[in-house]
Amino acid sequence: MAAWAERLTGVRGVLLDISGVLCDSSASGATAIAGSVEAVARLKQSPLKVRFCTNESQKSLRELVGVLQQLGFDISEEEVTAPAPATCQILKERGLRPHLLIHEGVRSEFDDIDMSNPNCVVIADAGEAFSYQNMNRAFQVLMELENPVLISLGKGRYYKETSGLMLDVGGYMKALEYACGIKAEVVGKPSPEFFKSALQAIGVEAHQAIMIGDDIVGDVGGAQQCGMRALQVRTGKFRPGDEHHPEVQADGYVDNLAEAVDLLLKYTDK
C-alpha cells in the first residue's frame, strides 16, 4: 500500500461516522471512544472541512447531538447529515404518507408528516419494535398498495453495543423486499445521494473527501463508490476479517479516530 502522504494527498474534507467512531452505545447510554473527543476538536481546528454522516435512526437528531455534546463532543445539529430529516424531505417532495416502523426515539422527527391513509412504508432501526406483529403490519400495508414504496433508513447489517452485535435495519429491509417482491429505496449510507448531500453541505468534491467509519461495506465501500477515499477504524463493529474483505479494501486501516486524525493532520496539505 502506498505511503500515507500519497494516500491522503489533496484531502480537503472529512466525513465522520458517529456510532462506533465517536462513541459506543449500549442500552443504558453511550460512551466516548478513547481519544475521539479530542480528535474531533483537533480536526475542527484544522483547515479541513468536517461533516458528521450517520445512519443513526433510533434517536432524533436533537437527541443524538445532545448525547454527543454531553460526552464532550464539539458538534451541532447543523453539522450532521442523518437519514430521518432526509427522509422527511423526500416524503414531502413526493407526497408520500408513510406507515412508520421505527423506534419511538425517532418518532418526533416525523411530527409534521401526514400519515393518514398510508401510501408507503418507512422502516428504520426499530430495535425491539421489530416484532412479528409490527413487521406483518408493514408487510400488509405494502401488499395492499398498487405501487408499493418501501423507504429504509440505511441498510446496515448490524451494529455493536457493549452487550454484543445487534441486528440493524438492513435485514428487516431484506425481509420485506423478499416477502413483497419489491426493492427498497435506501436513505442513508451507502446511498450515493446521501453521501453527496453530506459533501454538498461542506462544499467539498468527492475526490477531495475522505470518509472515516467502522463499517467496511456501508461506510468504506459506499464512500469509495462515490469517488471518495475511506478509512476504517478498528473500533465499533470492526472485525479483523474486515481487513481481508472479499469486495472492499479501505484506503487505510487505523486503530481509532485519534490515529486517523493524527495522520490527516500530518499528511494533508496545509
Note whether 140 binds a second copy by CB under 8 A: yes
Shortest gap between Cβ of 237 and a second copy (angstroms)? 11
Note whether 170 binds a second copy by CB under 8 A: yes
Q: Which residue's C-alpha cell is 454522516?
A: 53
Choices 4-12, 19-27, 116-124, 135-143; region in contact with a second copy by CB under 8 A: 135-143
Closest CA to 51 of 18, 11, 84, 5: 18
CB contact at 8 A, 60 and 84: yes
**Of positions 177, 185, 193, 259, contacts a second copy by CB under 8 A:** 177
Shortest gap between Cβ of 100 and a second copy (angstroms)? 16
Note whether 167 binds a second copy by CB under 8 A: yes
Note whether 11 binds a second copy by CB under 8 A: no
Choices 90-98, 164-172, 221-229, 251-259; region in contact with a second copy by CB under 8 A: 164-172
Q: What are phi and psi of 99, to 5 degrees?
A: -90, 125
Note whether 185 binds a second copy by CB under 8 A: no
Residue count (the chain): 270
Cβ proximity to a second copy, 120 vs 129, nearer residue:
129
Instruction: Return the half-sphere exposure (C-beta side, CA atoms, 13 A cut-off) of residue 104.
Output: 2
**Contacts of a second copy in 69-128 (CB under 8 A):** 126-128
How far, in Å, CA of 49 to CA of 202, rounded? Answer: 6
Answer left, alpha or beta for residue 89, where phi above 0 means left and psi between -120 and 50 means alpha: alpha
Q: Report whether the peptide linkage leading into residue 190 is cis, meaning its omega lies within 30 degrees of zero.
A: yes
Shortest gap between Cβ of 94 and a second copy (angstroms)? 25
**Measured CA distances, 264 to 5, 212, 268 (Å):** 9, 11, 5
Note whether 222 binds a second copy by CB under 8 A: no
One-letter amino acid for residue 240 of the chain: P
Note whether 164 binds a second copy by CB under 8 A: yes
**Of positions 78, 117, 147, 181, contacts a second copy by CB under 8 A:** 181
CB contact at 8 A, 221 and 232: no
Closest CA to 237 of 172, 168, 186: 168
Note whether 270 binds a second copy by CB under 8 A: no
Note whether 183 binds a second copy by CB under 8 A: no
Residue ranges for the known binding site for Mg(2+) are: 17, 19, 214
The residues of the shown chain that bind a second copy, judged by CB under 8 A, are 126-133, 135-136, 139-140, 143, 157-158, 164-168, 170-172, 174-181
Residue ranges for the known binding site are: 17-19, 54-55, 189, 214
